[in-house]
Each structure stands twice: as C-alpha cells, then as structure tokens.
C-alpha cells in the first residue's frame, strides 16, 4: 500500500547525535504549525511550545536535565538498569547542547486530556520534521523541576518532552518495529488482523 505518511513514519528514527550546522528555523516553525492542527480533548488545544536557540539557555537546560538524570540513574536497578546499560544510555545528554534548536513541549494541566492531546501534537511534529529532513527525538527528562525553573514556566503547565532538532549524524539504525499483524486484531481480541486477506475480501468473520 503506497502512502506518503507511512513512508515518512518508516523512515523516521530517533536521533541522539547532531551536526553543529545551523538549520532553517522556517522548518521548525512549519512543524509547530502542523502540531497546531492536531486533535485535542474538547478542542482545548492545551499544547504550548518553547523554542530555544540561545547556547547559554541550552547549556542550562542540559545541566538541569543531567542533574535529574543523575538522581534517577543512581536508583535504577534490576531489569530496567540492564536494559539501559545494554542500550548505552546514561545520565549524560550532550544532544541538548549539540542540536542547534530545542523545542520544549508543555501541556496545560487543567485542560481535559491535556497529556494525550500534547502527545498527539508531538506526533505531528515528528513527521513534519522528518519531511523537512531534520532529525529529532522525544526526550522526557526524569525530573523536570530544575528545567522548568530555568525557563520560568508558570504554574498550570507540565513539561511533556524536549525535542532536540538538527541535522542527524547518528549512524545507529532505526530500532525494529512490530508489524501490523503483531499488534492489530479484527472484530475479536486475539483474532489477528491479516491485512492482505481483509483488503481482498477473503477474511474470516470468526476468531480462529
């Protein structure tokens, strides 16, 4: 099945290493304009965006995030600790300074379904940035208090994610994703979706 959006989604991967080359901010603005068209609970549109380009502010954001990550990683044990170690993840977050632009996404806490709505907007941003040829990742700080203090966030808003945005120099391949047949069912839970059979009109109507 040909689909431009599907092609973008398949191409997009998490980027943790960025070129120092500047980027065209028009592409970032366009991605945020796309985010503003996302659906939201009761059409409350509870997302708010903060673009950071100042190196000094990026440095302070990084330091605040890393302080929180140090506290988090000092307590991590068991299977999660093993998984993080296997992935090469630790408290250091250099991408927060290396990327030429940071986009901080917030939700308005009193709005209905604020968190879900903000993440719908983030999904729009990810595909729009991929269309522009820019790399990013959805970084969610373990502890956000120091970060929000650095940028003078008013009460009533929650930091959802930080998107470092820039030209990717990350050679790590895209993480494998489940196929549709592994995660989708038809009519009954446990009745695996066979997209080919469904589209051809030969799908069974009863669970097998």
The whole-number pLDDT of residue 1 equals 56
**pLDDT in single tens digits along all 208 residues of the chain:** 579 999 999 999 999 999 999 999 999 999 999 999 999 999 999 999 999 999 999 999 999 999 999 999 999 889 998 998 888 889 999 999 999 999 999 999 999 999 999 999 999 999 999 999 999 999 999 999 999 999 999 999 999 999 999 999 999 999 999 999 999 999 999 999 999 889 888 766 555 4
CB 26 within 8 A of CB 129: no
Angle of helix 114-131 relative to helix 4-11, nearest 10 degrees? 90
The whole-number pLDDT of residue 132 equals 98
The whole-number pLDDT of residue 87 equals 86
Reported pTM: 0.92
The whole-number pLDDT of residue 156 equals 98
Please state, in angstroms and rounded to a whole number, the distance separating the CA atoms of residues 95 and 69. 14
Report which DSSP code applies to 163.
Answer: E
Please state, in angstroms and rounded to a whole number, the distance separating the CA atoms of residues 208 and 91. 47
The whole-number pLDDT of residue 203 equals 66
Please state, in angstroms and rounded to a whole number, the distance separating the CA atoms of residues 48 and 39. 14
CB 49 within 8 A of CB 105: yes
The whole-number pLDDT of residue 207 equals 53
Distance of CA 134 to the CA centre of its chain: 13
The token duo for 128 is: 């729009």
The whole-number pLDDT of residue 206 equals 55
Residue 105 host element (H or E): strand 101-108
The token duo for 8 is: 């973008």
Q: What are the structural domains, with CATH classification, of the chain?
A: 4-174 (3.40.109.10), 178-208 (no CATH)
Please state, in angstroms and rounded to a whole number, the distance separating the CA atoms of residues 59 and 65. 10
Report which DSSP code applies to 41.
Answer: G
Please state, in angstroms and rounded to a whole number, the distance separating the CA atoms of residues 73 and 185. 37
């Amino acid at each position: 099945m040909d689909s431009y959006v599907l092609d973008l989604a398949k191409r997009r991967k998490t980027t943790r290493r960025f070129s120092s080359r500047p980027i065209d901010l028009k592409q970032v603005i366009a991605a945020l304009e796309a985010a503003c068209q996302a659906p939201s609970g009761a059409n409350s549109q509870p997302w708010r965006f903060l673009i950071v380009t100042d190196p000094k502010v990026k440095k302070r954001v990084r330091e605040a995030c890393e302080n929180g990550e140090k506290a988090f990683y000092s307590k991590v044990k068991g299977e999660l600790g093993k998984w993080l170690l296997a992935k090469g993840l630790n408290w250091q977050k250099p991408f927060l300074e290396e990327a030429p632009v940071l986009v901080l996404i917030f939700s308005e806490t009193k709005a209905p379904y604020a968190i879900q709505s903000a993440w719908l907007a983030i999904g729009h941003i990810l595909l729009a940035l991929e269309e522009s040829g820019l790399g990013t990742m959805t970084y969610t700080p373990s502890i956000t208090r120091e970060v929000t203090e650095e940028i003078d966030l008013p009460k009533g808003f929650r930091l959802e994610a930080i998107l470092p945005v820039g030209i990717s120099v990350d050679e790590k391949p895209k993480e494998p994703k489940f196929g549709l047949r592994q995660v989708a069912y038809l009519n009954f839970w446990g009745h695996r979706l066979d997209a080919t059979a469904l589209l051809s009109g030969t799908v069974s109507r009863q669970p097998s």
